[in-house]
């Protein structure tokens, strides 16, 4: 056998070409399935600079089959310390504390029609739709009743400062295929990477999904100041004092000249 | 529009409100000679700025306004360097101790409580004393003409204390312990509440130490500059709570306001003003007290920790 194969020697060129074709072939062969859903944002970077009062982001896209659209926006994961306060001798003081790691710091969702939310609960949980389905890891060290209280308190606090929004926004549809959604991010949103997930829902099932990122970051002077203050605190402290002393001296000098000009 | 973003406090505030706050407090300090910090910090807390950041950033502003204020006294030679030196040795020790206490209470999570409670006690006490004093002065003014201030600095027990040194400029030969203790207490207050302490130091210097009134303002200002600067540094170093943008706006407002205040001061009737001022101070203390006692809407408080890496992403 081996004897015969060696005699039938295939030129190296052909072997290499077949190997290359073999690698590329899977990439060239598409399943003949059209893309149901595509979505994008009008900007992927929100810059927080001085005078930032909030920003509006436009999500837009197309669907090529019937169905409802649902969008969820989840903010960057953060460690959160939740402290329970209790009434002590007439004043509210801190009592117990629980620390969660990597919880979404922001939550928002929007729907094209109320039908989008008629998914079975397991689907809602899997895609983390709704404030009550945000991922909270189990904390085995903490008593489960107390933990339920802490979780409820955390969600209540986040709803109050509007980083968790309960009311869904409305996705507008234009014609059969186009949709758009405008989302407002207020001035005090957490910085970091946000994940914007768009779902196409049909017959109580998620048939298509697309995720796109949104970055919110402090740029320019603000991020540099924050960074300096935390990375080089001694230098920052000396700088602050130097600024204060110089401005104090400068103020005195300028005002003296000003008064002299007034009284002459 | 008129909002400015404070990078360390991580919030946006109304720029006009901040400048107005700095100017009003500066104006009052220009009129009365003192009274910057202890009004500034509680008002900043009311604006929503977290208490530790209000304390540290306000302190930075006090450095600026005290530098501006000390120069005219210095040029006229009304600063007793020796006394200032003793006061500030006590002050640095006090602020060091104060910062240790501050950091300890902060680690317990009760720093908000400490700051607000200290202010309630301070403002209500000072305010009530001022109300009584100014009312007495007004009543006496209605009855007789000018006020004769009695000589109150004959404290004989103090003259028996050891380690006396000569304070040439103030014409005093007293023990170093009273100024050290006064400086120490003021230093602790500076660290915890972000006040310069002049409003306490000046009466203490006049009545306890027997210093001539002419020397008192300049000397106390010098002490305030050094101790406040040192405390600002420590707050920046240990707690990263000095918001330079906030300080800058307050400094500009404060300096402008102070100059207007000292211009108008001679033309105002001091006694009535002091009375209204004392009402404001006491009122502020009471409002803070109510703020402490009022049950919160949600008795769970959330502290989100922003990792530095999320900030670093944005730096090119």
| Residue B109 pLDDT class (50, 70, 90 cuts) | confident
Mean pLDDT (chain B) is 83
- The whole-angstrom distance between A172's CA and the closest CA on chain B is 30
Report the residue of chain B nearest A250, measured CA to CA.
B68
Q: Does A102 touch chain B (CB under 8 A)?
A: no
Lowest mean pLDDT among A57-71, A153-167, B209-223: B209-223
Chain A residues in contact with B64 by the CB 8 A cut-off are 243-245, 247-248, 251
Residue B122, phi-psi category: left (phi > 0), alpha (psi -120 to 50), beta (remainder): alpha
Whether the complex's predicted ipTM surpasses the cut of 0.85: no
CA distance B285 to B117: 9
Q: Does A158 touch chain B (CB under 8 A)?
A: yes
Nearest Cα residue to B55 out of B216, B239, B224: B239
CA distance B56 to B37: 11
Report the residue of chain B nearest A229, measured CA to CA.
B240
Reported as a single tens digit per residue, the pLDDT across A226-249 is 888 888 999 999 999 999 999 988
Chain A residues in contact with B307 by the CB 8 A cut-off are 78-79
CB nearest to A81's CB, from B229, B303, B314: B303
The single residue listed with the structure tokens 């970055």 is A215
Which pLDDT value is given to residue A39? 93
Region A57-80: mean pLDDT is 91
Chain A residues in contact with B60 by the CB 8 A cut-off are 240-241, 243-244
Reported as a single tens digit per residue, the pLDDT across B279-306 is 888 888 898 888 888 877 778 878 777 7
pTM of the model: 0.74
CB nearest to B314's CB, from A97, A154, A217: A217
Q: Does A181 touch chain B (CB under 8 A)?
A: no
Chain B residues in contact with A46 by the CB 8 A cut-off are none
Reported as a single tens digit per residue, the pLDDT across B194-250 is 888 888 888 888 878 888 888 888 888 889 999 999 999 999 999 999 999 999 999
Mean pLDDT (chain A) is 82
CA distance B183 to B188: 9
Nearest Cα residue to A182 out of A82, A91, A61, A60: A60
- The whole-angstrom distance between A32's CA and the closest CA on chain B is 40
């Amino acid at each position: 056998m081996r004897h015969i194969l060696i005699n039938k020697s295939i030129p190296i060129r052909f072997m290499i070409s077949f190997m290359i074709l073999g690698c590329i072939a899977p990439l060239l062969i598409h399943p003949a399935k059209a893309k149901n859903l595509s979505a994008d944002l009008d900007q992927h970077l929100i810059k927080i600079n001085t005078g930032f009062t909030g920003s509006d982001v436009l999500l837009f896209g197309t669907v090529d089959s019937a169905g409802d659209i649902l969008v969820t926006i989840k903010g960057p994961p953060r460690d959160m310390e939740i402290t329970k306060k209790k009434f002590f001798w007439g004043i509210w003081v801190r009592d117990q504390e629980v620390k969660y790691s990597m919880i979404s710091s922001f939550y928002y969702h929007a729907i094209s029609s109320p039908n989008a939310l008629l998914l079975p609960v397991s689907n809602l949980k899997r895609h983390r739709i709704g404030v009550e389905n945000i991922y909270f890891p189990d904390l085995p060290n903490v008593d489960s009743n107390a933990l339920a209280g802490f979780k409820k308190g955390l969600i209540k606090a986040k709803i109050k400062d509007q980083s968790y929004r309960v009311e869904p926004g409305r996705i507008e549809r234009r014609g059969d295929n186009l949709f758009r959604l405008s989302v407002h991010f207020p001035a005090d949103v957490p910085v970091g990477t946000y994940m914007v997930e768009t779902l196409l829902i049909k017959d109580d099932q998620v048939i298509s999904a697309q995720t796109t990122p949104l970055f919110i970051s402090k740029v320019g002077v603000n991020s540099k100041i924050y960074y300096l203050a935390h990375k080089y605190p001694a230098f920052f402290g000396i700088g602050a004092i130097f600024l204060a002393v110089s401005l104090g001296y400068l103020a005195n000098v300028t005002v003296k000249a000003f008064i002299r000009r007034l009284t002459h | 529009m008129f909002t400015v973003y404070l990078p360390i406090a991580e919030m946006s505030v109304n720029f006009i409100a901040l400048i107005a706050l700095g100017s009003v407090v500066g104006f009052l300090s220009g009129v009365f000679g003192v009274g910057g910090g202890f009004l500034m910090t509680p008002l900043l807390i009311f604006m929503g700025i977290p208490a530790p950041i209000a304390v540290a950033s306000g302190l930075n502003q006090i450095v600026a306004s005290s530098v501006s204020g000390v120069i005219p006294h210095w040029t006229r030679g009304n600063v007793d360097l020796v006394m200032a030196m003793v006061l500030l040795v006590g002050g640095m020790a006090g602020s060091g101790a104060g910062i240790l206490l501050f950091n300890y209470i902060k680690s317990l999570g009760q720093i908000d409580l400490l700051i607000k409670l200290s202010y309630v006690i301070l403002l209500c006490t000072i305010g009530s004393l001022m109300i009584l004093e100014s009312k007495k002065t007004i009543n006496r003014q209605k009855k007789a003409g000018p006020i004769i201030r009695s000589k109150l600095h004959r404290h004989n027990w103090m003259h028996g204390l050891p380690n006396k040194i000569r304070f040439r400029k103030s014409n005093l030969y007293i023990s170093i312990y009273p100024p050290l203790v006064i400086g120490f207490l003021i230093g602790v207050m500076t660290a915890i509440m972000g006040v310069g302490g002049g409003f306490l130091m000046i009466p203490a210097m006049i009545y306890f130490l027997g210093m001539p009134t002419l020397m008192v303002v300049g000397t106390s200002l010098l002490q305030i500059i050094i101790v406040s600067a040192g405390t600002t540094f420590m707050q920046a170093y240990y707690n990263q709570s000095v918001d330079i943008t906030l300080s800058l706006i307050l400094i500009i407002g404060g300096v402008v306001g102070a100059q207007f205040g000292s211009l108008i001061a001679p033309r105002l009737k001091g006694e009535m003003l002091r009375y209204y001022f004392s009402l404001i101070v006491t009122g502020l203390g009471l409002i803070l007290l109510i703020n402490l006692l009022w049950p919160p809407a949600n008795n769970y408080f959330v502290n989100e920790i922003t990792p530095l890496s999320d900030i670093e992403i944005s730096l090119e």
